[in-house]
């Protein structure tokens, strides 16, 4: 037995892949090409993926060669040394430069995988085919804090034999909802094991359709199965429980394969130890992460409420999410009182809707008759609580007023402006981001009740936003469902969409869509004028508009604590920290800002 094992042991001259071939043969595996030897394999194989490079370390002849390649990592890139056989030895050679990625590797055995393809309602999976697709993929990457890449790279690799890009497209709108990238190992470096790997699976957190992630993984697996691949590997962070649950459901099994990365600002959270912002909500965490990236000190005061202190160079600023000590108590009080805000911005030349305080049935009936449809909302409050939109029946108005009084003693009515809800983020009296907010809606599957669809969609929205967004099953939701011609117990026909809220607030299940590049200058001017009239340095200005690229609008309200995380990939957190700590800005950006002020 010992002599037989000695005969099968690879020689010292054999390369890493040769050793793996011997091990495969010992296990009964059969290489794709029986006549392939170690000299056929591409040595030191690296695949450029746009966001960085994947180093297939089983093709490298030495740890020194791996380290040299990682040291050549590009600026703002994220290289991954994958299939590291002896990570402890590699790390020992450059402990100050490299770290062991805290991810698990999972493998899907394609030799036993059984395709389960079926067309899911509402979307389909296809190849990336245009620069517009590439830009949409970048948008999804940005929303997940993933490294973005030049869209031209996607386009240049569209016909690559080694790289494959799939996207999911909405049947109705044509919007790109998800993306996944695959690498064919046989075509990348003549892998005798005929492997493949999955990278960068990302689904738009606001996608309404269930099963998109699973569909993307299955499509890529079936693509490589058709090419004759024997397995598909992927790497997933050890604490990404939702993703791991999906992979295990699809038949992936964890294998003892490791990845090593270079220490850089992009990877810092993976090797820098416990994150002091781990328990913060997304709106506080995005600011704290940006501050830490710049070397600004962070002290968490109360993570449950989102309070923290930032300190640098003798300067200290307390914040609650995007509300800081730079916002005065007067400005905050103005934003809290919607009627007072309206009067102030109207004096600044900003267009406002007709408004009255809810007092006296006859006055309310007269206001409703004059305007046809109204909005009811508490005079004080936030996050869409107690807001009812597009009410044209007096009975509904009375019920909405009673609900609004649960949030505020004073209730106001406004004339309803039919259009889209636009949120503009103004920091230091400059527009940083603009986004259209759309009300929650569900998509029928032909078997589920409206109530069950709402619960499912609410669960998906909560998962995508860290629990910040969900659809309340309350009187306002029931009213909207009835207005759409259904009951909560009705089965919604397959493929039919039903709007279940009128208010587009994110906290009540609404979705948000970036339109910063499209917003009309008149709307930008209105938002900045409103911010100046309140004299508030950070604010979310809400307008109702006919369309983001058109000038028609009315002012709705100002939010003194806007959710900056909702507007990624726009640089909201960066501009917020710039405001608090201008000396932390890059010198070139600070100089450009000074020039704008002088101009």
Domain CATH for 339: 3.30.470.20
Residue 464 lies in a domain: yes
Q: Name the domain count of the chain.
A: 3
Per-residue CA distances from 206 to 176, 188, 270, 434, 439 (Å): 11, 34, 26, 17, 11
Those residues whose C-beta lies under 8 Å from the C-beta of residue 524, and which sit 6 or more positions away, are 424, 431, 434
Residue 375 lies in a domain: no
Residues 445 and 484 in one domain: yes
Residue 494 lies in a domain: yes
Least Cα distance to 310 among 344, 330, 284 occurs for: 284
Please, which pLDDT band fits residue 154 given cuts at 50, 70 and 90? confident
Residue 515 lies in a domain: yes
State the pLDDT at residue 372: 84
Percentage of residues of the chain with pLDDT beyond 70: 90
Are residues 87 and 100 in contact, defined by beta-carbon separation less than 8 angstroms?
Answer: yes
Q: What domain range is 483 assigned to? A: 440-501
Residues 444 and 492 in one domain: yes
The three-state secondary structure class of 587 is helix
* Matching residue, tokens 């909201």: 572
Residues 346 and 472 in one domain: no
Residues 591 and 488 in one domain: no
| pLDDT value at 17 more than 60 | no
Please, which pLDDT band fits residue 20 given cuts at 50, 70 and 90? very low
Residues 423 and 558 in one domain: yes
Please, which pLDDT band fits residue 396 given cuts at 50, 70 and 90? confident
Strand order across the beta sheet in which 411-415 lies = 355-357, 411-415, 374-378, 388-391
State the pLDDT at residue 324: 96
Computed over every residue of the chain, the mean pLDDT equals 85
| pLDDT value at 599 more than 80 | no
The residue among 40 and 182 whose pLDDT is bigger is 182
Q: What is the average per-residue pLDDT within 389-396?
A: 84
β-strand partners of 176:
169
State the pLDDT at residue 22: 39
| pLDDT value at 25 more than 60 | no
* CA gap 217, 180 in Å, rounded: 8
Please, which pLDDT band fits residue 258 given cuts at 50, 70 and 90? very high
Residues 485 and 506 in one domain: no
Least Cα distance to 512 among 454, 457, 442, 563 occurs for: 563
Residues 425 and 558 in one domain: yes
* CA gap 134, 200 in Å, rounded: 13
Residues 434 and 445 in one domain: no
- The pTM of the full predicted model, rounded to 2 decimals, is 0.68
Residue 155 lies in a domain: no
Please, which pLDDT band fits residue 381 given cuts at 50, 70 and 90? low
- pLDDT per residue as tens digits for the range 410-461: 888 888 888 889 999 999 999 999 999 888 888 888 888 988 888 888 888 8
Residues 339 and 469 in one domain: no
Residue 20 lies in a domain: no
Residue 340 lies in a domain: yes
The residue from 484, 501, 518 where one domain ends is 501
Residues 517 and 539 in one domain: yes
* CA gap 459, 466 in Å, rounded: 11
The residue among 220 and 586 whose pLDDT is bigger is 220
Buried b / exposed e along 114-134 (16+ C-beta atoms within 10 A): eeeeeebebbebeebeeeebb
The three-state secondary structure class of 346 is helix
Least Cα distance to 380 among 332, 427, 313, 421 occurs for: 332
Q: What's the burial of 477, exposed, middle or buried (CB within 10 Å: 0-12/13-18/19+)?
A: buried
Residue 244 lies in a domain: no
Least Cα distance to 158 among 130, 189, 200 occurs for: 130
The residue among 591 and 121 whose pLDDT is bigger is 121
Q: H or E element: which one contains 200?
A: strand 195-203
DSSP codes, 526-578 = HHHHHHHHHT-SEEEEEEEES-TTSS-EEEEEEESS--GGGGTTS-HHHHHHH
Residues 450 and 434 in one domain: no
Of 61-70, 379-388, 500-509, least confident by mean pLDDT is: 379-388
Residues 555 and 590 in one domain: no
């Amino acid at each position: 037995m010992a002599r037989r094992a000695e005969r099968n042991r690879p020689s010292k001259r054999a390369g890493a892949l040769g050793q793996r071939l011997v091990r495969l043969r010992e296990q009964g595996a059969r290489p794709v090409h029986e006549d392939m030897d170690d000299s056929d394999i591409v040595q030191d194989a690296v695949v450029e993926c746009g966001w960085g490079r994947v180093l297939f370390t089983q093709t490298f002849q030495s740890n020194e060669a791996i380290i040299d390649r990682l040291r050549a990592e590009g600026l703002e890139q994220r290289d991954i040394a994958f299939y590291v056989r002896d990570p402890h030895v590699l790390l020992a050679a450059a402990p100050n430069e490299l770290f062991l990625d805290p991810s698990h590797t999972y493998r899907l055995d394609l030799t036993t995988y059984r395709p389960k393809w079926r067309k899911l309602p509402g979307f389909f999976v296809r190849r990336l085919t245009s620069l517009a697709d590439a830009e949409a993929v970048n948008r999804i990457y940005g929303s997940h804090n993933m490294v973005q890449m030049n869209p031209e790279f996607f386009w240049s690799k569209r016909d690559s034999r080694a790289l494959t890009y799939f996207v999911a497209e909405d049947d109705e709108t044509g919007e790109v909802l998800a993306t996944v990238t695959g690498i064919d190992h046989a075509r990348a470096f003549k892998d005798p094991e005929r492997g493949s790997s999955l990278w960068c699976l990302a689904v738009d957190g606001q996608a309404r359709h269930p099963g998109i992630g699973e569909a993307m993984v299955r499509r890529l697996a079936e693509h490589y199965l058709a090419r004759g691949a024997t397995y598909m590997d992927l790497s997933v962070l050890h604490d990404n429980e939702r993703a791991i649950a999906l992979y295990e459901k699809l038949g992936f099994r964890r294998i003892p394969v490791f990845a090593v990365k270079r220490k850089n600002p992009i990877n810092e959270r993976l090797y820098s130890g416990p994150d002091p912002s781990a328990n913060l909500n997304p709106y506080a965490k995005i600011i704290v992460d940006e501050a830490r990236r710049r070397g600004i000190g962070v002290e968490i005061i109360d993570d449950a409420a989102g309070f923290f202190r930032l300190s640098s160079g003798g300067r200290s600023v307390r914040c609650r999410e995007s509300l800081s000590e730079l916002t005065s108590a007067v400005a905050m009080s103005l934003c809290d009182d919607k009627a007072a805000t309206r009067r102030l911005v109207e004096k600044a030349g900003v267009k406002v809707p007709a408004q009255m305080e809810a007092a006296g049935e006859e006055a309310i009936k007269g206001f409703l008759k004059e305007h046809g449809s109204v909005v009811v909302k508490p005079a004080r409050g936030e996050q869409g609580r107690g807001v009812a939109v597009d009410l044209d029946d007096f009975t509904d108005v009375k019920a909405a007023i009673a609900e609004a009084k649960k949030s505020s003693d004073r209730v106001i009515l406004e004339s309803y402006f039919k259009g889209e809800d636009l949120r503009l983020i103004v920091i230091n009296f400059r527009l940083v981001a603009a986004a259209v907010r759309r009300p929650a809606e569900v998509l029928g599957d032909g078997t589920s009740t409206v109530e069950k669809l709402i619960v499912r969609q609410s669960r998906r929205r909560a998962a995508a936003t860290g629990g910040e967004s969900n659809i309340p099953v309350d009187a306002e939701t029931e009213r909207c469902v009835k207005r759409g011609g259904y009951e909560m117990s009705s089965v919604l026909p397959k493929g039919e969409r039903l709007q279940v809220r009128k208010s587009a607030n994110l906290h009540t299940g609404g979705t948000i869509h970036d339109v910063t590049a499209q917003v009309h200058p008149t709307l930008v001017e209105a938002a900045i004028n409103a911010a100046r009239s309140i004299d508030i340095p950070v604010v979310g200005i809400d307008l109702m508009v006919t369309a983001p690229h058109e000038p028609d609008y009315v002012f709705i309200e100002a939010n003194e604590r806007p959710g900056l995380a909702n507007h990624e990939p726009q640089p909201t957190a960066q501009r917020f920290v710039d405001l608090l700590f201008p000396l932390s800005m890059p010198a070139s950006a600070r100089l450009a800002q000074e020039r704008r002020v002088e101009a």
